[in-house]
Structure 1
């Protein structure tokens, strides 16, 4: 599962958490935490926990006797997430591959994964692993972004950076985080993994930033798009960010900016 587009290392984890999480993830993290907590689970496994956006919101909502294991394949992201979380005896951090989970069969009431499935090189295998470690009646809860055109800032940045490198346009944003949006494909993958009880809810939210530059910086500096930009021009990050900023200003104006977000929330019961 460790592919170049899944690498969040160096300064990216802190930038991702400081810039990207409030920009696009916090609202969905709150929804996911509320949904999972409504099941009153005794045991929860989070895969692709990233910088801990969901973990921070969900842990306080779980019962005193609950067991919560937060995992990620990327150790730098997991290390950073642990620094952002208060001490909690119920919570364990563990490096793990969502496609080869180091847990017994039927070990958890809920498996959750916020905006991580898009990075799985074999999603059916990842879903089958989630199903394997779920108890009978347990739920697999995960979120994926809708197509990039329905996510305003990501679309503006992707188009701007592509025009900045017209001969070799970076495509991380469209290809990976927004590349797995077809609900028919998602349902089919889940069925192939053994799930039959599947619900998909598409939810719109609003992304807000204090200014266009903050939004552009979040995507250009706080995601692997940065790696794509620097691979094309080692000194071009600032100029590419300027280009993305101008594109957001052109669409959304000066000063505080707001843009549409759209994602799918999926619940598959074992």
Structure 2
């Protein structure tokens, strides 16, 4: 892999991380996770739904369609740029309220929702116990909780983690570990029950993802995440080495120009 080719590969993606997340991550990974979470949640027409760590709103918009115009849906995220993209996207069903806040301190009334959802967000929350207590507080009696996390780290992402540690910095590679850090059933059951929820249940399900060809997926993923800033700080030679190692490692997952990988979604459900 030449340095110039790698430089072009990295630099051809413009926009901010939130726009790239919505453009690249949501269609390939975010949407399959959202669909699996909502299948588990079993939303009903007219329900009031809160989506925590909503990002650019893929779960939120699908929930709005499912509860219809008689329902109520809110999306909440700490990231202003993600919310800006979420607000700009068209939606159908009920109108969506957007809130900028963190999960540990929800600016919402007690008992104001029938269902609380969160997809691929809880693993990044610093105080998970406080966040779950807040989720329970805003639920109505008998309200439902449905959370999607992911793990353990699949081989595809283990290859990326190792290459980031080698060519960027070990602390940058720690982002990948954080993504896949919350998947143990015992830990999730303990967290959920400890926050006062009843009937906590944790189930794992394998999703088969189809992703772009390796070089394309590498840089799309990097530019959709906080990794972009760190990778921008290394030189073209180091980026070329990173690309070379990742693309070589991902070759076994590639067929007919696309990557196919199985990834484990972890679905935690409970009741207030």
The TM-score normalised by the length of structure 1 is: 0.86
Match of 1:160 in 2: 163
Is the CA contact 2:43–2:66 (under 8 Å) kept in the aligned structure 1? no
Length, aligned pairs only: 257
Superposition deviation, residue 251 in structure 1: 4.5
Pick aligned residue for 1:78 from 72, 76, 83 = 83
Is the CA contact 2:53–2:76 (under 8 Å) kept in the aligned structure 1? yes
Runs of 4+, deviation exceeding 6 Å: none
Is the counterpart of residue 177 in structure 1 residue 182 in structure 2? no
Any stretches of 5+ residues in structure 1 without a counterpart?
Answer: 1-9
Is the CA contact 1:16–1:222 (under 8 Å) kept in the aligned structure 2? yes
Alignment of 1:67-216 (within 5 A): 67-86=72-91, 90-148=95-153, 151-165=154-168, 168=170, 170-216=172-218
Find the residue that maps to 1:44 and give its secondary structure: strand
Pick aligned residue for 1:53 from 37, 40, 58 = 58
Question: Separation in 2 of the partners of 1:56 and 1:15?
Answer: 18
Query: Which protein has the larger Cα radius of gyration, Structure 1 or Structure 2?
Result: 2
Question: Separation in 2 of the partners of 1:219 and 1:99?
Answer: 27
Pick aligned residue for 1:247 from 223, 246, 249 = 249
Any stretches of 5+ residues in structure 2 without a counterpart?
Answer: 1-14
Deviation per residue, 1:203-243 (Å, 9 max, x gap):
10111123112221232221112233345x26555653443
Deviation per residue, 1:19-39 (Å, 9 max, x gap):
112222211211223333444
Match of 1:18 in 2: 23
Question: Separation in 2 of the partners of 1:207 and 1:153?
Answer: 11
Deviation per residue, 1:5-24 (Å, 9 max, x gap):
xxxxx710111112112222
Moved more, 39-48 or 195-204: 39-48
Find the residue that maps to 1:171 and give its secondary structure: helix
Question: Separation in 2 of the partners of 1:85 and 1:153?
Answer: 33
Match of 1:7 in 2: none
CA separation of 1:56/1:238 partners in 2, compared to 1, >3 Å: closer, same or farther? farther
